[in-house]
Structure 1
Amino acid sequence: MQSLDWLVLSFTLLFIVVYGAWKTKGQKSVQEYIKGGNDTKWWTIGLSVMATQASAITFLSTPGQAFNSGMGFVQFYFGLPVAMVIICLVFIPIYHKLKVYTAYEYLEGRFDKKTRILTAILFLIQRGLAAGITIFAPAIILSAVLGWDLIILNIIIGFLVIVYTVSGGTKAVSVTQKQQMAVIFAGMFITFYIILQYLPKEITFSKAIAIAGASGKMQILDFSWDLNNRYTVWTGILGGTFLMLSYFGTDQSQVQRYLSGKSLKESQLGLIFNGILKVPMQFFILLVGVMVFVFYQFNSSPLNFNPKAEEAVIKSEYAKQYKELQRNHKSIEEEKKVLFFNKLTKESKKQLIFLNKKDLELKEQAKSLIKKSNTKVETNDKDYVFISFILDYLPKGLVGLLLAVILSAAMSSTASELNALASTTTIDLYKRNVSQEHSDKHYVKVSKWFTFMWGIIAISVACVANLFDNLIQLVNIIGSIFYGNVLGIFLLAFFIKFVRGPAVFLAAIITQVLIIVIWYLEILPYLWLNLLGCVIVMILASLIELISEKNKRS
C-alpha cells in the first residue's frame, strides 16, 4: 500500500468514528440511547437497515462467490421484498402500538416471562457469534494479503466500533451508517467502472457478458427442486422469505433500526426502501465479481488467490509439482484468450467448457498439494479473489478507498450488532430480572457497559474463529439455525391465539435441538432450516397445547 492509500483509509475511518461520536454526544435517556430519540427519517432507516445486513463479508465474499459460481447467489435474496411487505403490514404496527424497546418485550405480554427470556437468549447467542465473525472476516483476509497481524486487526476494528457505539447508542449507529453506505456505494461503482476500462478495447461490456455467459457465470435462475442445489428460485422465495422475515422482523439488530423511526409510516417506508434497493444492490455486487472473472480471462491469475497458501506450497517439498500445475494453468489461460478474441461459436463454447473444466481440475489438485504442505493453511480462496484484485490492479488512492469500504462495512454491521446485543441484555435480562427500580441515567450507563462487554466478546470470538467454506455462507448458516425457531414463536404470538406460554417454551427448546441435529447431519441445505424451524415450532406448540387442554378436561 502507498502513502496515499494509507491517508485515504485513515481519514475515511477516523472521520466516521469522530463524526458519529460528536453528532450524538450527551444522550441521557433510555429512549434517546436505545431508540435514537424516535426522530429518524425513512431514508436513514432504509440505509441503516441495509448497512446492518451488508457487512464486510458481503463485499469480500460475494464477488468471490460470483467469480467461482456465477450470479445464482442472487436468488438467495428473492424472498426479501416479500418479507419487507409482511413486516410492514404485521410486525411494525404491533411494535409501534406497544412502544417496545426490543422485539422480545412483546412476547412476555403475549406468552410469559420465560418465553421472552428464552427468545432473547437465542438472539444473544447467534448474534453474539455473528458479531465476532463480522470482525474476523475482513481481518483474516486483510491479514493474509497485507501481512498485517490478525489479532491487532481484530482489536482495531472492534475498538473503532466500540468508541462511537458506546458514545452515541442507536443514533450514532444510524448516523455513521449513512456515511458508511456512501463510502461503500462510491467505492463499488468506481471499481466496476475501472474493471471495464481495464478490459481490452475489443471487449465491450456486451462481449464481456457473453464471455461470462459462455463460462457459465450468468445463469441467474434455477427452477429445479434438487435439494443438493443451495441456491434456487424456490430456496430463495421459500427459505429466503422465512430467513428474511425472522432476521428483519425479530432480530433486534434490525428491529432497533426501524423502532427509532419518527412515525409508523417512516419505519414502513424505510423497510420498503430497503426491499426495493437490496436485490439490485446484491445483483450489482455479484456482477462486479463476474467482471473480475472476465478481467482475469485476459490477465494472468494465480492458481490460488490466498497468498499464504501459495507461499506455503512453494516452500514445501511439493513446489515442483505445484509449479507444473501453474504452467498448465497458464497454458489454459492462453488458449482461452485466443477463443475470447474471436467470435464465440457453438464449437468455441464447447472448447471453452472443456478448458474451464480442465482448469478447475488443476485448481483442485493445487488445493490438495497446499493441504499436504500445510494442513493449517486455508485452501478455499473465494474470499481472497476480490481483495487480491484490489491490491494488485487498482490505482493508488483507490486501494485505500476500497479497504475503507470493506472496513466501513465491518464497522456498520458490528455497530448494529453490539447496539442490539446491549439493548436486549439491558431491557430483557438486566432490567426485567435484576433491577427494575432505577433512573434512566442508570440504564443508559448500564447499556454502555453492556455495549463495551459485547464488544470485547465479539473481539474475543474473532480472535479464536476459523475460516469456513465461505464467510457469507457462515453468517447465513448461523442465522438459519436459530431464526426459523424464533420466527415461529413470533408467528404463534401474532396469529395462533389459543397457544399459551408453557407450550411455546417447551416447543421452542425441542425445535432448537432438532434443527441443530438436522444441520449437523447435513440432511437439508441450510436455507430450508428457516422454513423447517418455523413450521416445527408452530406445529409442536399447537399439539402440546391441545394435549395439555385435553388432559385438563379428562
Structure 2
Amino acid sequence: MQQIDWIILSATLLFIIFYGVYKTRGSKNVEEYILANKETPWWLVGLSVMATQASAITFLSTPGQAYHDGMGFIQFYFGLPIAMIVICIVFIPIYHKYKIFTAYQYLEQRFDVKTRSLAAILFLIQRGLAAGITIYAPSIILSTLLGWNITALNIIIGISVIFYTFIGGTKAVNVTQKQQMFVILVGMFVTFYLILHMLPNEMTFSNALHIAGANDKMNILDFSLDTETRYTVWTGITGGFFLMLSYFGTDQTQVGRYLSGKTDRESQMGLILNGFLKVPMQFFILLTGVMVFVFFQFNTVPLNFNPNNKALIEHSKYKEEYQDLEKKLTNLGEEKKEYNLLYIDHLNQNFDNPILRNKLKELAGREKDLRDQAKELIEKADIKAETNDKDYVFLHFILNYLPKGLIGLLLAVILSAAMSSSASELTALASTTAIDIYKRNTKSELTEKQLLYSTQLFTLGWGIIAILFACFCTLFENLIQLVNLLGSIFYGTVLGIFLVGFLFKFVKGKSIFYSAVLSQISIFFIYYYFIHIYPSGQEKLGYLWLNFIGATLTIVISSSLQLLLNLKNRTIKS
C-alpha cells in the first residue's frame, strides 16, 4: 500500500467515527439511545437496514464465493422480497401498536415472560457469536496487509466500533451508515469498472460472461429438488424466505433499525426499499467476483490465495514440491490465456465454439487438481492450517492489481461495512439485554438515567465479548456461510414463536414455551447428524432448510400441545 492509500483509508474511517460522535453526543434517555427518538426518515431506515446486513463479510467473502462456485449463491436471497412484504403487512403494524423497544417485549404481552426470555436468550447467543465474526473478518484483511497480529487487530477494530456506538447508540449507527453506504457503493462500482477495463482490449463484457459461462460460473438458477444441494431456487424461496423473515422480522439487529422510523409507514417504506435493492446489490457483488475469475484467466494466479499458507510452505520440507506445482500452474495459465483469447476471437465472429468451451472446462479441471494438491501439501506442513482460501480471493486482487488510491478506498469499503454491521449488532445486543433481561428481572424501579447508563454499559460489555470471540474465531468454509449457518440454527425456532403469536391466537404461553425448547433441541440434533459430521459439500441437508424445519416444528408442536391441553381441560371440567 502506498501513502495515498493510507491517507484515503484513515481519513474515511476517522471521518465516519467522529461524525457519528459529533452528531449524536449526549443521549438524554433510553428512547433516544435505542430508538433514535423515532425520528428516522424512510430512506435512512432503508439504507440502515441494508448497511446492517452488508457487513465486511459480504464484501470480503461473497466475491470469493462467486470466484469458486459461481452465481448460484444469489438464490439464497430469492425469499427476501417476499419476506419484506410479509413483515410490512404483519409484523410492523403490531410492533408499532405495542410501542415496544425490542421485538421480544411483544412476546410477554402475547404469551408470558418465560417465552420472552427464551427468545431473547436465543437471539443473544446467536447474534453475540455473529458479532465476533463481523469483527474478525476485517482483521483478516489488515493482518494479511500489514503482517500484524490478528488478536491485536480484533481489539483495535472492536474498540473503534464501541467508541461511537457507546456514546451515540442507535442514532450514531443510523447517521454513520449513510456515509458508510456511500463509500461502499462508490468503491464497488469503481472496482467493477476497472476490472472490465483491465481485461484484454478485444474482449467485451458479453465475451467475459461467455467465458464465465464456459466455466460454469453463470449457473444462476438450480431447480433441483435434492435436499443435499445447498443453493437452489427452492431452498432460496423456502429456507431463504424463513431465514430472511426471521432475520428482518424478529432479530433485534434489524427490528431496531425500522422501529426507529417516524411512523409505521416510514418503517414499511424503508423495508420495501431494502427489498427492491438488496437482491440486485448481492447480484452485483457476486458478478464482481465472477469478473475477478475472468480477469485471472489472463493473469497470474496463486496456487492458494491465502498468503499465510505460502509463508508456511516456504519454511517447510514441502517447499520444492509446492514450487513444482507453481511452475505447472504458471504453464497452465499460459495455456488458459491462449485458449481464452482464441475463444474470444470465435465469439467476436459470432461463433460459440463448443470444442473450445470443453477445452476451457478441461483446463479449469486441471487447475483445480493442482490447487487440491497444493492444499494437501499445506495440510502436511501444518495439520491445523486453513487451506480454504475463498475469503482471500478479492483481497488478493485488490492488493495486487488495483491502482494507487483505490486500494485504500476498497479497504475503507470493507472496514466501513464491518463497522456498520458491528455497531448495529452491539446496539441490538445491549438493548435486548437491558430491556428484556435486566429491566424485566430487576425488582426495583429503574430511573431513565439508570436504564440509559445500564444500556451503555451493556454496549461496552457485548463489545468486549465480541472481541473475545473474534480472537478465537477460525475460518469455516467461508465467513458468509458461517454467519448464515449460525442464523439458520437459531432463527427457525424464534420465527416459529412469533408466527404462532401473530397467527395462532388459541395457543397459550405454556404450549409455545415447551414447543420452542423441543424445536431448538431438535434443530441441534438435525444439524449435527445431517450437516456437521459430513465433509463440506457432502452434507445430507442444506443448512437453509433448518430455518423452515425450526419454524414448522415450533408451530406444529405448539398447536398440537395446546389442543391436547384444551382437550384435557374439557375432560376435567366434564
Do both share a fold (TM > 0.5)?
A: yes
Return the match for 2:555 from 538, 541, 545: 538
Tell me which amino acid in the other structure corresponds to 1:95: Y
Contact preservation (8 Å) 1:419, 1:451 = yes
SS of the aligned residue for 2:19 comes to helix
Q: Distance in 1 between matches of 2:267 and 2:567?
A: 43
CA RMSD of aligned residues (A): 1.0
Contact preservation (8 Å) 2:340, 2:360 = no
Q: In the TM superposition, what whole-angstrom CA distance separates every residue of 1:137-166 from its partner, at most 9, and x where no partner exists?
A: 221243134312211110111111111111
Q: In the TM superposition, what whole-angstrom CA distance separates every residue of 1:488-522 from its partner, at most 9, and x where no partner exists?
A: 00000001111110111111111111101111112
Tell me which amino acid in the other structure corresponds to 1:296: F
Tell me which amino acid in the other structure corresponds to 2:182: A
Return the match for 2:542 from 525, 528, 535: 525
Contact preservation (8 Å) 2:165, 2:172 = yes
SS of the aligned residue for 2:440 comes to helix
Return the match for 1:391 from 399, 423, 429: 399
Contact preservation (8 Å) 2:180, 2:420 = yes
User: 1:210 aligns to what?
Assistant: 210
User: 1:9 aligns to what?
Assistant: 9
Q: Distance in 1 between matches of 2:13 and 2:514?
A: 46
Which runs of no fewer than 5 residues in structure 1 stay unpaired? none
User: 2:498 aligns to what?
Assistant: 490
124-133 or 321-330: bigger deviation: 321-330
Return the match for 1:479 from 472, 484, 487: 487
Tell me which amino acid in the other structure corresponds to 1:548: L
Shift in alpha-carbon separation, 1:155–1:435, aligned structure 2, 3 A:
farther
Q: Distance in 2 between matches of 1:471 and 1:414?
A: 15
Is 1:409 aligned with 2:417?
yes
Q: Distance in 1 between matches of 2:140 and 2:363?
A: 32
Q: Distance in 2 between matches of 1:162 and 1:452?
A: 6
Is 1:40 aligned with 2:48?
no
Return the match for 2:456 from 435, 440, 448: 448
User: 1:366 aligns to what?
Assistant: 374
Q: How does 1:335-346 map to 2 (within 5 A)?
A: 335-342=335-342, 343=346, 344-346=352-354
User: 1:139 aligns to what?
Assistant: 139
Shift in alpha-carbon separation, 1:455–1:225, aligned structure 2, 3 A:
same
Q: How does 1:185-224 map to 2 (within 5 A)?
A: 185-224=185-224
User: 2:523 aligns to what?
Assistant: 515
Tell me which amino acid in the other structure corresponds to 1:121: I
How many positions carry a matched residue from both structures? Answer: 554
Q: Distance in 1 between matches of 2:554 and 2:153?
A: 40
Contact preservation (8 Å) 1:145, 1:306 = no
Is 1:423 aligned with 2:440?
no
SS of the aligned residue for 1:70 comes to helix
Shift in alpha-carbon separation, 1:436–1:243, aligned structure 2, 3 A:
farther
Tell me which amino acid in the other structure corresponds to 1:414: S
Contact preservation (8 Å) 1:54, 1:413 = yes
Tell me which amino acid in the other structure corresponds to 2:258: Y
65-74 or 323-332: bigger deviation: 323-332
Tell me which amino acid in the other structure corresponds to 2:528: Y
Tell me which amino acid in the other structure corresponds to 2:553: I
Q: Distance in 1 between matches of 2:435 and 2:396?
A: 43
Normalising by structure 2, we get a TM-score of: 0.95
537-546 or 453-462: bigger deviation: 537-546
Which runs of no fewer than 5 residues in structure 2 stay unpaired? 347-351, 532-539
Is 1:311 aligned with 2:311?
yes
Tell me which amino acid in the other structure corresponds to 1:329: L
Q: Distance in 1 between matches of 2:405 and 2:515?
A: 55
User: 2:284 aligns to what?
Assistant: 284
Normalising by structure 1, we get a TM-score of: 0.99
- Among the aligned pairs, what percent are the same residue? 62
Tell me which amino acid in the other structure corresponds to 1:191: T
Q: Distance in 2 between matches of 1:156 and 1:411?
A: 12
User: 2:176 aligns to what?
Assistant: 176
Q: Distance in 2 between matches of 1:463 and 1:408?
A: 20
Pairwise CA distance, 1:435: 4.8
Tell me which amino acid in the other structure corresponds to 2:479: L
Is 1:58 aligned with 2:66?
no
User: 1:353 aligns to what?
Assistant: 361
Q: In the TM superposition, what whole-angstrom CA distance separates every residue of 1:302-358 from its partner, at most 9, and x where no partner exists?
A: 010001111212321112221221122122211111111122511111111111111
Q: Distance in 2 between matches of 1:546 and 1:89?
A: 28
